Amino acid sequence: MAALGWLTPRRRSATARSVLAGEAAAEAARKTSADDDSALLTGTSGEAPEEPAFPVAGDDRAAAFFDLDNTVMQGAAIFHFGRGLYKRKFFERRELTRFAWQQAWFRLAGVEDPEHMQDARDSALSIVKGHRVSELMSIGEEIYDEYMADRIWPGTRALAQAHLDAGQKVWLVTAAPVETATIIARRLGLTGALGTVAESVDGVYTGRLVGEPLHGPAKAEAVRALAAAEGLDLDRCAAYSDSHNDIPMLSLVGHPYAINPDTKLRKHARARDWRLRDYRTGRKAAKVGIPAAAGVGALAGGTAAAVALHRRRR
């Protein structure tokens, strides 16, 4: 299984590895997509956002593509998954402290730092190497209930429901492992997920990726490949993300939305009159808070250091 691993420069075009990662994600998504009968959401809490004029009911050539981290869910899925694996003794306390520090940095700084993401990817690949895919899928179901279920943004979930109610397919598109993303999509009643594909042989992870992490240009390639396979018209599709790194994906569709946008994406969206939604409250630095990694005393010191560093850089 792969981790976030956001390594691509922010403004480069797709490479052969991006295309490979995108095509692998599209193929995996179509194989593991949820049944049409499961595309119903229940128990949405909080106030639903104002109903948009889009989507158009009955347009089966339209679909919606949602980024996961900080768009659909608070924080990064791979870090929550790492906490669950630590609880099950897949790795040591020191490695969990590193996961917690990376999560704190991600949520304080609000940026996807290549060095931190490289470390997260390498950590996750080494942890799951030699384990069976079926084992990680089963554990992933438990981890979703423990760490992820209560981190879903109700507003974004309502937007996804609007597309489902209109009879359209809804896909997650994320650099998180495709297995983790597929679990989240299924539990939310979505169609399926495009995610980073880790190589497996005879159902066992090898510790290598197929292509590269599904990030930046690779996300756009995955959406493009899936749209071609599904017979979708991208001009009639929608995409949702919080990050300027997803501008290539957002620019592909006729209906781009900036959700809980970072500063660069907000500026880009306003310049192009894209729709914006922000479900966070309070001061920007505290909008999504700092997660507490249970059982890790060292997190307090790491979080304090992150806060201090963040303040010095403001």
The amino acid at residue 61 is R
The amino acid at residue 256 is P
Cβ 128 vs Cβ 120: under 8 Å: no
Segment holding 185, helix H or strand E? helix 178-187
246 tagged catalytic: no
* Catalytic-labelled residue, pool 36, 67, 150, 262: 67
* Catalytic-labelled residue, pool 36, 37, 69, 278: 69
On the question of a cis peptide bond just before residue 55, with omega within 30 degrees of 0, the verdict is yes
**Helix, strand and coil in the chain, % to nearest 5:** 50, 15, 35
Q: Please state the separation of Cα 144 from the chain's center in Å.
A: 14
Residue 276 tokens read as 């914006």
State the Cα–Cα distance between residues 159 and 154, nearest whole angstrom.
Answer: 9
Strand, coil or helix: 192: strand
State the Cα–Cα distance between residues 192 and 25, nearest whole angstrom.
Answer: 11
Q: Counting every residue, how long is the chain?
A: 314
Cβ 217 vs Cβ 225: under 8 Å: no
Q: Among candidates 185, 197, 96, 90, which has minimal Cα distance to 135?
A: 90
Strands 204-209 and 198-201: antiparallel
235 tagged catalytic: no
- List active site positions: 67, 69
